[in-house]
């Protein structure tokens, strides 16, 4: 197992090195210049040069890369060019907002997906099943930037019961913070919920044909009891796996939702960093995203390896 | 195997009760947790227009929305993001009135000598920084020195270099000029009076100290910044205890925030959104105009031919752009400066109209029919795409083959600085609000020796020098008229409208203003009921 862990860690480190080169190169090759953004369109060549030297962008790219990686290894993410604050501080300020949004969207996704799935699979009324099916299709076709605008218009502008966006400190203003979470998290959850619902409904229909369900029916159990005690627990697994995959999508979707709902999250920060070519900030955010994915993958592989010697021994068993 | 049970115990709480409770809790969450600013009546009522005395309210928190964040590191630069700070945390030395004359602010008065080679500026007494330190002539000298440093990026540095400033008293400054220069004070319309003791801490926004009506409190980059009432402000007592500024980059989100009462003020809204709010009862304050133009790279064929450039100028439907894109919050114009600029006449502002036949004849005469032409709209201007559509339609009508090129926000400044556009571009020169001299000296598209248009013939350079070197207003008016006519003839910088920055205010909020540099001025703002 130790050898397996070392092998996987080595592979992960290799991926991180390749990704760091790709992230650095792509951002530097892309048209646009952080110095030009900072100095503004009316800057003189002298001003541009002075800022370039100040930021260290006059050095050869290879040297900039080595310096950046050296800082990363020491746990220093560097300073933002435009905001002039440590990148770690900026990420720390924003991560809470994105996590709140992702957690809230996941909860809504679970509630909506499971409710719709169960209704799809169990309702005795065809009209209900058809209505849920149509609703699922509609939700599936509503990306967050469309549903977000509709939700803002209805709940904030027309009825005035919820704020149109923004965020508030969760610990100091919990109620206000939750109110500001409702619309963006619904907008993010809507397109994913039907996928979970349909998967769950399919699994439930399959489970209903299993022998233990038929046995329970033969013994006189009620439909409700069979659904909740036997069918749902035996069908929920694939749906939960799908929710796990969807959480990754939700983190990506947060970029759009944060822009529409004016939330100060990591997605918004990444947009700002890329638009202003704030290399240090954008590189750190992208590397963090990749590192998070690699860690998740590593954990999954370790869990699988622990349970399966064939994986652990690399196919030599 | 677990035996199947067939008994059913009634739950302690029924599902209906749980559902009812959940709905009630949700309702309470929706309605009960709303945080709106509270207002308290002020002691001093303001006279109403019909003889009644509406009550002036004291607001605990004025909520402002802006489309882009501040850039503290560029505090001495003329950048849109910092407009919400320049007259809230900071003060300026002078202002400019609607008639174009300078208005005292931290400078109370000023005099030129007879041959206009010396300017004496006297400063207001009793002004203090938020730290409690008095504002003096040394602070102005500090700001000027910082603006003149390499890398400051202060556009007005080119104005400041025309004179040498020295201290002639605690509250008096003297500026000596080698040759008469009439526009020196323009620099102080745009330069905030930063604090010398804390200047180094401005860059990261941790500490921003000025003399303005609000003290700096906090900044969450990209999200919001907060300020508090400065009790020792030298001017009016502003009836707002706090000013909270939210950065809302999406125009739709800004519009929704205003309509849903989540904001009291919104700065720099998209014109059509501001117009829609105006028709819904909000008040819209407009700034003085600035240049919104279609630039021409004269180094690129067929735009190196004056006939093609003039054809482009005749093919721009300025009225349609002003009406459809700006919803009337812009004035069609053919020149970069305001219509009340000395030397400017109506014949100048309305020189070019939409004349397809004339333009097509010029294109045919130049043999440029079917020529391909790239149009690059500024990604920093939310209206530029719509303007590009109208421009593209006009150019197609006259026989050219235009196409739109999209660039990223980080690329556009590089193209402006380097004059590297493929053909035409659509952009703005905000500095024209300060007048022709300042714009010609500071804006890259209009500079003499090297500019974005790659248009630097001797005739342009001599006229450029005539405007910026004019010693008095009469001489300046003559030079501006000559320069304006030359620019119209050469058609390398085709102004389409004099656009305006806006601030939209909720009902009852009056006295909000934008100064000649589009900075938000709340010193006369009042909330009345």
Residues 281-310, chain A, touching B (beta carbon < 8 A): none
Residues 95-134, chain A, touching B (beta carbon < 8 A): none
Separation of alpha carbons A237 and B302, rounded Å: 66
pLDDT for B15: 46
The answer, as to whether pTM is greater than 0.90, is no
Ranges of residues in chain A with a pLDDT under 50 are 317
More confident residue, B316 or B51: B316
pLDDT for B3: 41
CB contact under 8 A, A47 and B74: no
| 3-state class (DSSP) for residue B295 | strand
Residues 12-51, chain A, touching B (beta carbon < 8 A): 30-34, 36-43, 45-48, 50-51
| 3-state class (DSSP) for residue A123 | coil
Q: Is the CB of residue B222 less than 8 Å away from at least one CB of chain A? A: yes
| Bridge partners (DSSP) listed for residue B428 | B292
DSSP code at position B321? I
Angle at B251 (CA atoms; ends A269, A147), nearest 5 degrees: 80
Please report, for residues A43, A49, B62, B502, B510, the alpha-carbon distance to residue B527 in angstroms, rounded to integers and kept in the order given. 40, 47, 10, 19, 6
Model confidence over B77-107: pLDDT tens digits? 888 889 899 999 999 999 988 777 899 999 9
- Which pair of structure tokens corresponds to residue B282? 């909000």
Q: Is the CB of residue B411 less than 8 Å away from at least one CB of chain A? A: yes
Chain B hits for A37, CB-CB cut-off 8 Å, are 409-410, 413
Q: Measure B262 CA to nearest chain A CA, in Å.
A: 7
Separation of alpha carbons A85 and A78, rounded Å: 9
- For residue B203, which phi and psi values (nearest 5 degrees)? -50, -40
Please report, for residues B101, B167, B342, B365, B524, the alpha-carbon distance to residue B113 in angstroms, rounded to integers and kept in the order given. 18, 17, 22, 54, 34
Q: Please give the residue of chain B at the shortest CA–CA distance from A182.
A: B30
pLDDT for A21: 94
DSSP code at position A168? -
CB contact under 8 A, A261 and B224: no
Interface-testing mutation among A34, A35, A39, A41, with chain B (most B C-beta atoms within 10 A): A41
The DSSP line for B110-142 is: EEE-TTS-EEEEEEPTT-B-TTSPBP-HHHHHH
Separation of alpha carbons A264 and A289, rounded Å: 17
Model confidence over B368-396: pLDDT tens digits? 999 999 999 999 898 999 999 999 999 99
**Contact of B468 with B178, CB cutoff 8 Å:** no
Chain B hits for A45, CB-CB cut-off 8 Å, are 417
Note the ipTM here: 0.77
Mean pLDDT of B32-59: 54
**Contact of B297 with B422, CB cutoff 8 Å:** yes
| 3-state class (DSSP) for residue A195 | helix
Separation of alpha carbons B527 and B61, rounded Å: 12
Is residue B50 over pLDDT 50?
Answer: no
pLDDT category, B40, cuts 50, 70, 90? Answer: low
Q: Is the CB of residue B245 less than 8 Å away from at least one CB of chain A? A: no
Separation of alpha carbons B181 and B337, rounded Å: 19
Of B74, B222, B410, the CB nearest to A264: B222
Q: Measure A92 CA to nearest chain B CA, in Å.
A: 11
Is residue B329 over pLDDT 50?
Answer: yes
pLDDT for B100: 78
Model confidence over B449-478: pLDDT tens digits? 999 999 999 999 999 999 988 877 888 899
The DSSP line for B161-184 is: TTEEEEEEETTEEEEEESS--TTG
Comparing A241-245, B108-112, B201-205, B516-520, the range with the smallest average pLDDT is: A241-245
Average confidence score pLDDT of chain B: 88
Q: Measure A316 CA to nearest chain B CA, in Å.
A: 39
Task: Say how many C-beta atoms besides its own lie within 10 A of residue B287's C-beta.
Answer: 22
pLDDT for B150: 80
pLDDT for B219: 92
Of B30, B262, B408, the CB nearest to A32: B408
Average confidence score pLDDT of chain A: 86
Q: Which residues contact A22 (CB under 8 A, 6 or more apart)?
A: none
Model confidence over B467-512: pLDDT tens digits? 988 877 888 899 999 999 999 999 999 999 999 999 999 999 999 9
Is residue B57 over pLDDT 80?
Answer: no
Q: Which residues contact B369 (CB under 8 A, 6 or more apart)?
A: B363, B399, B400
- Which pair of structure tokens corresponds to residue B461? 């350079």
Separation of alpha carbons A152 and A261, rounded Å: 8
Separation of alpha carbons B428 and B380, rounded Å: 10
Interface-testing mutation among A42, A78, A173, A218, with chain B (most B C-beta atoms within 10 A): A42
- Which pair of structure tokens corresponds to residue A305? 């390896």
- Kind of pairing between the strands at B62-66 and B265-267: parallel
pLDDT category, B122, cuts 50, 70, 90? Answer: very high
Q: Please give the residue of chain A at the shortest CA–CA distance from B251.
A: A260
Long-range CB contacts (within 8 A, 24+) of B37-40: B37/B61, B37/B62, B37/B63, B37/B264, B39/B527, B39/B529
Chain A hits for B155, CB-CB cut-off 8 Å, are 40, 42
Strands (E), A58-158: none
* Helix H or strand E encompassing A146: helix A144-151
Q: Measure A62 CA to nearest chain B CA, in Å.
A: 22
Q: Is the CB of residue A76 less than 8 Å away from at least one CB of chain B? A: no
pLDDT for A125: 83
Separation of alpha carbons B45 and B284, rounded Å: 24
- Which pair of structure tokens corresponds to residue A261? 């709902």
Q: Measure B268 CA to nearest chain A CA, in Å.
A: 16
Long-range CB contacts (within 8 A, 24+) of A201-206: A201/A116, A201/A117, A201/A118, A201/A120, A201/A121, A203/A234, A203/A235, A203/A236, A203/A237, A203/A238, A203/A239, A204/A117, A204/A118, A204/A121, A204/A122, A204/A231, A204/A232, A204/A235, A205/A121, A206/A235
Of B72, B260, B416, the CB nearest to A41: B416
Residues 200-219, chain B, touching A (beta carbon < 8 A): 203-205
Please report, for residues B193, B245, B440, the alpha-carbon distance to residue A166 in angstroms, rounded to integers and kept in the order given. 32, 11, 41
**Contact of A164 with A261, CB cutoff 8 Å:** yes
- For residue B374, which phi and psi values (nearest 5 degrees)? -90, 140
Model confidence over B271-307: pLDDT tens digits? 999 999 999 999 999 998 999 999 999 999 999 999 9
pLDDT category, B41, cuts 50, 70, 90? Answer: low
Give the 3-state secondary structure of B425-470: EEEEEHHHHHCHHHHHHHCHHHCCCCCCCCCCCHHHHHHHHHHHCC
Chain B hits for A36, CB-CB cut-off 8 Å, are 410, 413-414, 417
Is residue B29 over pLDDT 50?
Answer: no
Q: Which residues contact B429 (CB under 8 A, 6 or more apart)?
A: B290, B291, B293, B336, B439, B443, B445, B446
Q: Measure A20 CA to nearest chain B CA, in Å.
A: 22
Q: Measure B303 CA to nearest chain A CA, in Å.
A: 22
Chain A hits for B6, CB-CB cut-off 8 Å, are 219-221
| 3-state class (DSSP) for residue B64 | strand
Model confidence over B219-251: pLDDT tens digits? 988 889 999 999 999 998 899 999 999 999 889
First-to-last alpha carbon distance for chain A, in angstroms, is 13
pLDDT for A315: 52
Model confidence over B390-438: pLDDT tens digits? 999 999 999 999 999 999 888 999 999 999 999 999 999 988 888 899 8
């Amino acid at each position: 197992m130790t050898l397996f862990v070392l092998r996987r860690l080595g592979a992960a480190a290799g991926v991180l090195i390749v990704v760091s080169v790709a992230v650095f190169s792509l951002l530097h090759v892309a048209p646009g210049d952080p110095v030009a953004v900072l100095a503004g369109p009316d800057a003189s060549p002298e001003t541009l040069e002075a800022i370039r030297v100040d930021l260290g962008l006059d050095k050869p790219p290879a040297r900039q890369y080595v310096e950046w990686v050296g800082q990363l290894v020491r746990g220093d993410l560097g300073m933002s060019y435009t905001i002039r604050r440590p990148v770690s501080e900026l990420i720390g300020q924003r991560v809470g907002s994105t996590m709140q949004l992702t957690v809230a969207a996941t909860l809504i996704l679970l509630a909506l997906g499971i409710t719709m799935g169960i209704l799809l699979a169990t309702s005795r009324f065809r009209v209900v099943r058809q209505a849920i099916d149509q609703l699922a299709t509609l939700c599936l076709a509503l990306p967050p930037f469309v549903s977000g605008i509709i939700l803002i218009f209805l709940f904030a502008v027309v009825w005035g019961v919820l704020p149109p966006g923004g965020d508030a400190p969760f610990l100091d203003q919990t109620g206000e913070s939750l109110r500001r979470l409702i619309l963006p998290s619904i907008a993010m959850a809507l397109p994913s919920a039907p996928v979970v619902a349909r998967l769950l409904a399919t699994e439930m229909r399959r489970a209903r044909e299993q022998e233990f369900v038929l046995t329970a029916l033969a013994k006189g159990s009620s439909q409700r009891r069979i659904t909740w005690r036997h069918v749902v627990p035996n069908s929920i697994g694939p749906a939960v796996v799908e929710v796990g995959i969807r959480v990754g999508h939700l983190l990506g979707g947060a970029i759009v939702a944060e822009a529409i709902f004016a939330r100060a999250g990591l997605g918004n920060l990444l947009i700002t960093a890329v638009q202003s070519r704030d290399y240090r900030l954008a590189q750190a955010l992208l590397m963090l995203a990749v590192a998070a994915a690699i860690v998740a993958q590593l954990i999954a592989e370790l869990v699988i390896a622990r349970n399966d010697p064939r994986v652990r021994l690399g196919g030599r068993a | 195997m677990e035996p199947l049970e067939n008994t059913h115990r009634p739950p302690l709480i029924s599902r209906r009760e749980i559902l009812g409770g959940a709905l009630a809790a949700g309702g309470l969450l929706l309605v009960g947790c709303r945080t709106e600013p509270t207002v308290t009546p002020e002691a001093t009522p303001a006279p109403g227009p019909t003889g009644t005395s509406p009550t002036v309210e004291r607001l605990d928190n004025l909520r402002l929305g802006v489309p882009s964040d501040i850039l503290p590191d560029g505090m001495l630069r003329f950048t849109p993001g910092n407009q919400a700070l320049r007259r809230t945390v900071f003060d300026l030395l002078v202002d400019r009135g609607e008639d174009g004359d300078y208005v005292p602010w931290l400078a109370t008065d000023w005099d030129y000598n007879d041959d206009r080679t010396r300017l004496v500026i006297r400063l207001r007494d009793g002004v203090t920084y938020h730290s409690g330190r008095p504002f003096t002539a040394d602070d102005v000298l500090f700001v000027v020195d910082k603006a003149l440093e390499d890398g400051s990026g202060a556009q007005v540095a080119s104005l400041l270099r025309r004179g040498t400033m020295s201290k002639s008293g605690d509250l008096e400054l003297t500026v000596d000029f080698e040759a008469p220069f009439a526009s020196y004070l323009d620099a102080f319309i745009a330069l905030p009076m930063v604090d010398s003791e804390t200047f180094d801490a401005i860059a990261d926004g941790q500490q921003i100290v000025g003399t303005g009506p609000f003290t700096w409190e906090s900044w969450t980059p990209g999200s919001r910044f907060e300020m508090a009432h400065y009790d020792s402000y030298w001017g009016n007592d502003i009836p707002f205890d706090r000013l909270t500024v939210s950065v809302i980059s999406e125009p739709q989100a800004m519009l929704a925030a205003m309509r849903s009462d989540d904001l009291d003020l919104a700065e720099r809204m998209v014109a059509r959104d501001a117009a829609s709010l105006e028709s819904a009862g909000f008040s819209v304050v407009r700034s003085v105009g600035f240049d919104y133009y279609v630039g021409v790279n004269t180094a690129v064929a067929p735009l190196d031919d004056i006939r093609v450039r003039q054809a482009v100028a005749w093919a721009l439907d300025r009225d349609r752009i002003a009406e459809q894109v700006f919803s009337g919050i812009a004035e069609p114009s053919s020149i970069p400066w305001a219509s009340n600029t000395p030397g400017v006449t109506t014949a100048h502002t309305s020189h070019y109209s939409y004349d397809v036949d004339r333009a097509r004849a010029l294109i045919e005469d130049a043999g440029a029919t079917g020529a391909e032409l790239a149009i690059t709209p500024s990604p920093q201007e939310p209206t530029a795409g719509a303007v590009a559509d109208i421009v593209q339609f006009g150019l197609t009508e006259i026989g050219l083959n235009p196409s739109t090129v999209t660039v990223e926000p980080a690329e556009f400044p590089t193209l402006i600085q380097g004059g590297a556009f493929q053909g035409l571009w659509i952009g703005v020169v905000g500095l024209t609000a300060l007048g022709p001299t300042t714009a010609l000296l500071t804006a890259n598209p209009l500079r003499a020796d090297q500019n974005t248009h790659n248009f630097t013939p001797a005739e342009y350079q001599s006229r450029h020098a005539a405007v910026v070197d004019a010693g008095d207003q009469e001489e300046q008016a003559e030079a501006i008229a000559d320069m304006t006519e030359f620019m119209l003839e050469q058609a390398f910088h085709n102004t389409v409208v004099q656009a305006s920055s806006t601030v939209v205010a909720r009902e009852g909020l009056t006295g909000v203003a934008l100064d000649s540099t589009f900075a938000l001025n709340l010193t006369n703002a009042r909330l009345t009921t």
